[in-house]
Amino acid sequence: MTPVRRSFFAAVVIGAICTTIQGRLARAGQSAGSPVKVYKVGKDVTPPQLLSQDLSAAVVSHCDGMISGPVKVSAVIDAEGVPHNLMFVQATGSDLDRLAMQIVHLDRFSPAMREGTPVAIAETISMPLGGCVQNETDASGRYTQHLRLASVPDQTLEPFDGYPEKVIFASEAPMRGTNGKAPSYKVGPDVSAPRLLRGTTSIDIGKTAPDKPSKPKYQGEDIISVIIDAQGLPEDVHVVRPLGMGLDEKAVDTLKRARFIPALRNGREPVPVSVELAVSFRLY
């Protein structure tokens, strides 16, 4: 099968997303890695407001296919109105999730205010997304698939209580090493394990009545190595212990569509972690 290459919204967002978190913190007079207090909306704290941004250049009308669904992303919005520590609250399990993350990365806000002073606050950003799939073939004959916006999403904000009282802002785009992989942590005393938010690691094949007990003809586990990034997205997915019979490809695809609550270092900082996960199969 001809390999498919995908790009997500890249022409519009690449310059903005490359802005480093260190530069933002320097402008705010804060050093990287410093704990930041997260406030809650109340009588002395006013909520942030989403500033309008022009995404019209990213919207296309010619589509070879369409996908749509609601995505909800949480973020700590800092005293400059910049979102950090993005993670999923609701996801589709499709490429729309990555598109939503890129949109929230671009969002800017008038910050929350406490007694006239800008403060950091946690919010969820909800958006119904429509994606336009465009198929292309490059000069070498390689088939490529691009996901663009089919329309400008309408974003809404709500308070979010899922962050600790103090957070450390995650690094935004870690550089890949000489092996081509982004640096990652291991789960341990200071690093929590990521938690599955959407998806499964147990697959039944050929079972026609889900609620009726029956004995599978075959069962086994694929062991998959994967990096769960600081936003809860799976990266660098590959098989460590295969099963064969076409199940390895199904296991990899299943984990690529899974979404996670990211690992935390010292309970405050989202970090990418390298883990091995078992995907179990039952064939009926």
156 and 202 part of one domain: no
73 and 127 part of one domain: yes
pLDDT of residue 20: 39
Global pTM reads: 0.85
Q: Evaluate whether residue 274 is within a structural domain.
A: yes
pLDDT of residue 43: 85
153 and 218 part of one domain: no
26 and 88 part of one domain: yes
Measure the CA–CA gap between 192 and 195, rounded to whole angstroms.
Answer: 9
pLDDT of residue 23: 46
Q: Supply the range of the domain harboring residue 148.
A: 5-167
Low-confidence ranges of the chain (pLDDT < 70): 1-32, 172-182, 209-213
Q: Evaluate whether residue 172 is within a structural domain.
A: no
pLDDT of residue 203: 85
45 and 113 part of one domain: yes
Query: Domain count of the chain?
Result: 2
23 and 118 part of one domain: yes
pLDDT of residue 172: 64
pLDDT of residue 52: 87
Helices 96-106 and 10-17 sit at what angle, rounded to 10 degrees?
A: 50
Q: Evaluate whether residue 187 is within a structural domain.
A: no
69 and 202 part of one domain: no
Q: How many other CB atoms are found less than 10 A from the CB of residue 265?
A: 17
pLDDT of residue 214: 77
Element (H, E) at 119: strand 117-119
- Among 142, 228, 136, which residue's Cα sits nearest to residue 182? 228
3 state DSSP class of 260: strand
Question: CA–CA distance from 25 to each of 65, 92, 186, 277 (Å)?
Answer: 41, 32, 27, 35
* CATH number of 270's domain: 3.30.2420
Question: CA–CA distance from 14 to each of 83, 174, 182, 191, 262 (Å)?
Answer: 16, 14, 18, 30, 23
pLDDT of residue 230: 96
155 and 231 part of one domain: no
> Residue 273 burial (CB < 10 Å; 0-12/13-18/19+)?
buried
pLDDT of residue 181: 64
137 and 207 part of one domain: no
